[in-house]
Structure 1
Amino acid sequence: MKKLFLTVMAFVTVGAAVVAQNKAVKASESKVVWKGYKVAGSHEGTINMVAGNLEFKNDVLKGGAFEIDMASIETTDLSGEYKDKLDGHLKSDDFFGVTKYPKANLVMTKVKPKGKNAYDVTGNLTIKGQTHPIQFVMSVYGSKATANLKVDRSKYDVRYGSSSFFDNLQDKVIYDEFDIIADLQF
């Protein structure tokens, strides 16, 4: 009887290890796009992912974490002198202060299935050393995951052009919310 119990426990332990998986995100094959909006239009670009992982149990998403290289932020809708100016401004203390805060990260704290391949995710997003909760939907298909996050930059002390901090900006207002669209390969 004792031998049978030990055999069953060994099977359960091995089985549990097989169904719980931590899958590394392939940073070089993944893409993170940002899009910011202002009264007079919008700009968009990319940010490089440093590392990330997604945690699964029985093929159901349970969590994950990601690190982004803020120093890699660049615009893709401009070229030449205007691109260089905006890229430099985004890296400056007016926006993301990448010299002092070179990385941003997201840690999932709660994941709830929302239907086939979709999950409601709650996490902690850290930008410029400040962490705030964020909610978004993540879809997982095979070895790919996608998410679209709406980030309120005013929570992270990204003040430039924000009507939350400055009056009389008129048509120079840059909206507080910006989008991050992540297409992840793992």
Structure 2
Amino acid sequence: MKNLKTIALAFVAFATLSVSAQTKKIDVKTSTIEWVGKKVTGQHNGTVNFKDGAVVLKGKKLVGGTFTVDMTSLTATDLTGEYLGKLNGHLKADDFFGTDKFPTATLVIKKIGAKSANIYTTTADLTIKGITKPVTFDITVNGNTATTAFNVNRTIYGIQYGSKSFFDSIGDKAINDEFELKVTLKF
């Protein structure tokens, strides 16, 4: 009987330790990316859609993820009519995101550290316009939802249009180097 208990305890311990990672695809229709770009005279905000993506969980712990963004879906939500068309066209042009040549952007999680119960500090490779740079941000996972907000410096991806860092005399036409992203993943 004692040997049976020992075997049962060993099996339970092994089963607990061997929880394998599970990949869960995100729901691209309900997952969202909201952006804000600021300039001296105001700001614009909008959305861009996921093409696909997945999180990797080990139990309830986030251990990885890969995401592809459809840059051709980039749109402002604070404008309408002619001004919306002009801004969207400019954002998709080569001096911004160049969506004809670079229709997607990607984010691949490379490193995750637990910050608290459901919050992780994450370092990922973000690729925009074919240029890959690391970004670090906190992400919160609750059930089948993950949320994060972080800033991206557009100039390190070759997007220099309207940047005071590159054009000294731009004055009140300057656009901030960083844009803000607010992301909600549903899986």
Cα distance in 1 between the residues matched to 2:92 and 2:161:
12
C-alpha displacement of 1:13: 7.6
TM-score w.r.t. structure 2 length? 0.90
Cα distance in 2 between the residues matched to 1:122 and 1:14:
28
Aligned 1:37-76 pairs, distance under 5 A: 37-76=38-77
Cα distance in 2 between the residues matched to 1:50 and 1:149:
20
Cα distance in 2 between the residues matched to 1:114 and 1:46:
28
* Equivalent position of 2:110 in the other structure: 109
Cα distance in 1 between the residues matched to 2:169 and 2:17:
63
Amino acid at match of 1:128: K
* Equivalent position of 1:33 in the other structure: 34
RMSD: 2.0
Amino acid at match of 2:59: N
TM-score w.r.t. structure 1 length? 0.91
CA deviations 1:151-179 (Å, max 9, x no partner) are 00000001110112112000000000001
C-alpha displacement of 1:19: 4.0
Q: Show structure 2 runs of 5+ residues with no match.
A: 1-6
Cα distance in 2 between the residues matched to 1:141 and 1:14:
22
* Equivalent position of 1:133 in the other structure: 134
Q: Which runs of 4+ in 1 moved over 6 A?
A: none
SS in 2 for 1:28: coil
CA deviations 1:49-106 (Å, max 9, x no partner) are 0111111112111110100011110000011110110000000011000000000000
Q: Show structure 1 runs of 5+ residues with no match.
A: none
Q: What percent of counterpart residues are identical?
A: 45
Cα distance in 2 between the residues matched to 1:145 and 1:115:
14
* Equivalent position of 1:21 in the other structure: 22
SS in 2 for 1:169: helix
